[in-house]
Amino acid sequence: MAELYIGALSGTSIDGIDVALVRFAPGPELIDTHFHTLPGSLREQLLRLSQPGDNEIDAMGNADVLLGKEFAAAVNALLAKTHTDPTRIRAIGSHGQTIRHRPQNDPCFTLQIGDPNVIAVETGIRVVADFRRKDIALGGQGAPLVPAFHDAIFRSRQVDRVIVNIGGIANLTVLPRGQFSPIIGFDTGPGNTLLDAWCQKMLGQPMDKDGMLAARGRIVPALLQSMLTDPYFGRRPPKTTGREYFSMDWLNHHLKAISRPGVADVQATLLALTVHTIADAIKRLPMLKTPEIYICGGGAHNIAVMRSLQVQLPESKVDKTDVIGVAADWVEAMAFAWLARQRMHEQPGNLPIVTGASRPTVLGSVYLPG
Ligand SMILES: Nc1ncnc2c1ncn2[C@@H]1O[C@H](COP(=O)(O)OP(=O)(O)OP(=O)(O)O)[C@@H](O)[C@H]1O
Ligand SMILES: CC(=O)N[C@H]1[C@@H]2OC[C@@H](O2)[C@@H](O)[C@@H]1O[C@H](C)C(=O)O
């Protein structure tokens, strides 16, 4: 029997909440979507919580509830838009908002907020949340989780494929055409986070729309080389990272040695960093024969990013995931609908080969409205 789920996510760009209504019959079909803008004050609070600071517990407790309300509002708006009664939804899969991810700590941890109890009560729908920590309890990094979903919907028998999500952080999934070849998945490094941060700082704009500022600049080779020396890029997977690592402090550290860099030149160099680290990660993948490369996440709209990826990977066709059936903006939200369904069907959600966990496991806890 067909089932309806809603996937909800606020990603590392902290630009707003993506919600997707998905029908599983049993393959997933995207029915409709909604993007819910976060109030500016809450966005500020979340950005602050993403870096170590003062009085974090009070700030986190407050943001946890406020964000839960925003997730509920986002879901309710989608239900209204689609004239869907809440009783028809089997569950909401809510990722929440990552405010800290410390895969290198001992013990490592990850923290997502957006209280699922509030979401359940204010929507009247059961919520599956806390998707990452069971994987961490089993020795994994709790991320990336989307590779299992990519495998479920994007794997081809004929060609090798690489799916690249360019969100705040960029992550990729390698889907070899052979049924039994292992999937590879990891975070390549910064996606849009530094591009957004520099643009915000220098121009007061939340993003460099279509890479226009970057297109006016020239790459600063010394800055690019300095950033590329970061050990993260050379590390072997499993590996994940976050905006608390690739932060303005990280950029300022590398800028120190550069005398009077131009605003557009730094933007161009940051764009080159994103593209270079993704392309380099793909070039170093074993066993792939000219894979097809499909991009999702907000970075797929950055024309300059897409063009330069194609230049760096001339033998492959670089395209958006739209051409293989899912609009680039909605892959992640759909993935959390899928993960909620995995939870309700008591099926594993993680891929140990990707996260480093000791075994596949059912992910997430269930929160009831009643
Ligand atoms: N037209 C555009 N031009 C340039 N950049 C864009 C454009 N549209 C979206 N973006 C970028 O995409 C970002 C949002 O991407 P997305 O929603 O995939 O991030 P996210 O889901 O928060 O991240 P993550 O996958 O890391 O959790 C914006 O912050 C912006 O940098
Ligand atoms: C801890 C965390 O929130 N990680 C995100 C982040 O954003 C992109 C990349 O880094 C990815 O590893 C992950 O999100 C997706 C949804 C994932 O788990 O696959």
Q: Specify the residue with its C-alpha closest to ligand 2, atom 7.
A: 169
The domain ranges of the chain are 3-143+330-367, 146-328
Q: Which residues pair with 318 in a beta bridge?
A: 293
Q: Which pLDDT score is estimated for 358?
A: 98
DSSP string of 246-285, one letter each residue: SSHHHHHHHHTTSSS--HHHHHHHHHHHHHHHHHHHHHT-
216 Cα: distance to centroid of ligand 2 (angstroms): 31
The reply to whether ipTM tops 0.90 is: yes
- DSSP one-letter code for 124: T
**Can you say whether the dihedral through the CA atoms of 208, 213, 218, 222 is positive or negative?**
negative
Contacts by residues 321-326 (CB-CB < 8 Å, ≥ 24 positions apart): 321/154, 321/163, 321/294, 321/295, 321/296, 323/294, 324/154, 324/161, 324/294, 325/153, 326/30, 326/153, 326/154, 326/296
321 is in an annotated binding site: no
Mutate to test the pocket of ligand 1, among 13, 208, 309 (most ligand atoms within 8 A of CB): 13
Percent of the residues in the chain that have a pLDDT greater than 90, as a whole number: 95
Paired sense of beta strands 89-102 and 3-10, if any: parallel
189 is in an annotated binding site: no
Atom of ligand 1 nearest to the CA of 169: 26
**Contact at 8 Å (CB) between 147 and 240?**
no
Q: Specify the residue with its C-alpha closest to ligand 1, atom 10.
A: 298
Amino acid in position 271? L
**Contact at 8 Å (CB) between 273 and 190?**
yes
CATH, domain 146-328, list 3.90.1170.50, 1.20.1540.10, 3.30.420.40, 3.40.50.720? 3.30.420.40
As a whole number of angstroms, the distance between CA 284 and CA 64 comes to 40
Closest by CA to 61, choosing from 52, 44, 71, 49, is: 49
Q: Specify the residue with its C-alpha closest to ligand 1, atom 13.
A: 298
11 is in an annotated binding site: yes
Compute φ and ψ for 2, nearest 5 degrees: -65, 145
As a whole number of angstroms, the distance between CA 161 and CA 291 comes to 5
Summarised one tens digit per residue, pLDDT across range 69-125 is 999 999 999 999 999 999 999 999 999 999 999 999 999 999 999 999 999 999 999
33's tokens? 């979507």
Atom of ligand 2 nearest to the CA of 95: 16
Summarised one tens digit per residue, pLDDT across range 9-55 is 999 999 899 999 999 999 999 999 999 999 999 999 999 999 999 99
**CATH class of the domain whose range is 3-143+330-367:** alpha beta
Confidence bin at 1 (pLDDT 50/70/90): confident
Q: Specify the residue with its C-alpha closest to ligand 1, atom 5.
A: 302
When the pLDDT of each residue in the chain is averaged and rounded to a whole number, the result is: 96
The binding-site residues of ligand 2, defined as CB within 6 angstroms of any ligand atom, are 11-12, 98, 101, 110, 143-146, 165, 167-169, 171, 187, 240, 242, 332
Helix intervals (H) in 87-220? 116-123, 133-137, 146-154, 193-203, 212-216
